[in-house]
Amino acid sequence: MQVESRRYGRVWFGHLLEISMSLSSLILTIANAGATCASLSRGQIVAAAGYYFGYWFSYRRA
């Protein structure tokens, strides 16, 4: 996003704004990846707990 102006400062601000927007997009991408990883980890924990409970329940009843 190029901000055209007669002043040099506004063009520089436009570059800073563009860099800031790119960094915020990168941060959101990293946060999304972290949330996905945490969700998968929770799913594995729930699956393992369910497997253990099923094993315990079926062999304790016998």
Q: Does residue 5 lie in a domain region?
A: no
Residue 42: the pLDDT is 92
Q: Does residue 24 lie in a domain region?
A: yes
Q: Does residue 37 lie in a domain region?
A: yes
Q: Does residue 49 lie in a domain region?
A: yes
The two three-digit tokens of residue 5, written as one number: 């102006």
Q: Does residue 1 lie in a domain region?
A: no
Residue 48: the pLDDT is 93
Farthest CA pair distance, the chain: 85
What's the total number of domains in the chain? 1
The range of the structural domain enclosing residue 30 comes to 10-61
Q: Does residue 3 lie in a domain region?
A: no
pLDDT in tens, 20-62: 767 778 888 888 999 999 999 999 999 999 999 988 888 876 5
Question: CB–CB of 11/4 below 8 Å?
Answer: yes
